[in-house]
Amino acid sequence: MTTESEPTADRITPADGVPAFPSLSADDFKAVFRGHPGGVAVITADDGTGPVALTATSVSSVSADPPLLVFSVSAQSSSARALAAAKTVVVHLLDADDLPLARLGSTSGVDRFADTGSWSRLVTGEPVYHGVRAWIRGAVVNRMDAGGSTIFAVHALQSSLSRDPAPGEAGNALVYHNRTWHRLGDHSRID
Q: What is the DSSP string of 1-68?
A: --------S-B---TT-PPP-BPPPHHHHHHHHHTS-EE-EEEEEESSS-EEEEEES--EEEEETTEE
**Which among 35, 31, 36, 38 has a CA at the least distance from the CA of 55?**
38
What is the per-residue pLDDT for 9? 45
Query: What pLDDT was estimated at residue 190?
Result: 81
Mean pLDDT by 10 residues, the chain (191 residues): 48 58 85 88 96 95 96 92 95 97 95 96 97 97 94 97 87 90 85 77
Q: Is 4 left (phi over 0), alpha (psi -120 to 50) or beta?
A: beta
In this structure, what is the dihedral angle of CA atoms 43, 44, 49, 50, given to the nearest 10 degrees? Answer: 130
Residue 82's Cβ-count burial label (10 Å; 0-12, 13-18, 19+) is buried
How far is Cα 44 from Cα 127, in angstroms, rounded to an integer? 6
Whole-prediction pTM = 0.86
